[in-house]
């Protein structure tokens, strides 16, 4: 899965570079090309812009810093992916998007000293951006989403496990409290009540181990 995700990142980088080449060839001479207008109001334009900052024009004129930072982060993520440190499929694809966006803009910074932006959303006051920005931001948002989802799920499972263990302890105490001289049927009934709970705990522990190995 890792190599497929990295191959997909290469494809996305190619798409990013192609869209930027088209922007330079066709949009730069015009300056701005309107795509969508509603009631004489521009909603979406293609506007050629040279961005000397990071995504959405932040950290303007910090090219050397951005090149070094982006290179370190991308190299680190690729190493983690190739060494199988990142195992979850959802995380792998999120990092694939982040890598493609980072490398797409890194190529521009190294080759030109600026990043070509061209997607101009006019319905809100927003910076002009490009395809690489979309990949990087989408990957980051999904990564945060999946992490939170995993934490919520893990927390719920821990609570269920704690509750089941609490019930087990209670039932074991009840078994121990039974008079040794009491009727054998009473002991057997208490043990039967406790057995399904133990079996459920073992089943959940085995399932959790399988998920961790996956």
Active site residue ranges: 117, 133
| Of 94, 122, 103, residue with least CA distance to 14 | 103
Asked if 202 and 209 count as a contact pair (C-beta separation under 8 A), the reply is: no
In total, the chain counts a number of residues equal to: 214
d(CA 105, CA 70) in angstroms, rounded, equals: 9
Element (H, E) at 170: helix 131-177
Q: Which residues contact 183 (CB under 8 A, 6 or more apart)?
A: none
Asked if 63 and 113 count as a contact pair (C-beta separation under 8 A), the reply is: yes
d(CA 57, CA 145) in angstroms, rounded, equals: 25
d(CA 29, CA 161) in angstroms, rounded, equals: 64
d(CA 24, CA 48) in angstroms, rounded, equals: 7
Q: Is 151 helix (H, G, I), strand (E, B) or coil?
A: helix
């Amino acid at each position: 899965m890792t190599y497929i995700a990295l191959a997909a990142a290469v494809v996305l980088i190619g798409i990013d570079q192609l869209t930027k080449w088209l922007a330079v060839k066709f949009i730069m001479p015009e300056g701005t090309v309107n795509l969508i207008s509603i009631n004489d109001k521009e909603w979406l334009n293609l506007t050629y812009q040279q961005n000397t900052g990071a995504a959405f024009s932040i950290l303007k004129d910090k090219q050397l810093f951005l090149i070094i930072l982006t290179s370190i982060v991308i190299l680190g993520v690729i190493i983690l992916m190739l060494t199988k440190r990142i195992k979850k499929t959802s995380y792998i694809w999120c990092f694939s998007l982040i890598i493609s966006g980072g490398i797409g803009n890194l190529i521009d910074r190294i080759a030109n000293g600026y990043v070509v932006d061209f997607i101009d959303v006019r319905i809100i006051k927003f910076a002009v951006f490009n395809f690489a920005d979309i990949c990087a931001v989408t990957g980051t948002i999904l990564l945060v989403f999946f992490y939170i989802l995993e934490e919520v799920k893990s927390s719920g499972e821990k609570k269920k496990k704690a509750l089941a263990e609490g019930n087990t302890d209670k039932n074991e105490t009840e078994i121990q409290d039974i008079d040794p001289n009491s009727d054998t049927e009473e002991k057997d009934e208490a043990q039967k009540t406790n057995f399904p709970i133990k079996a459920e705990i073992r089943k959940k522990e085995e399932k959790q181990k399988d998920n961790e190995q996956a």
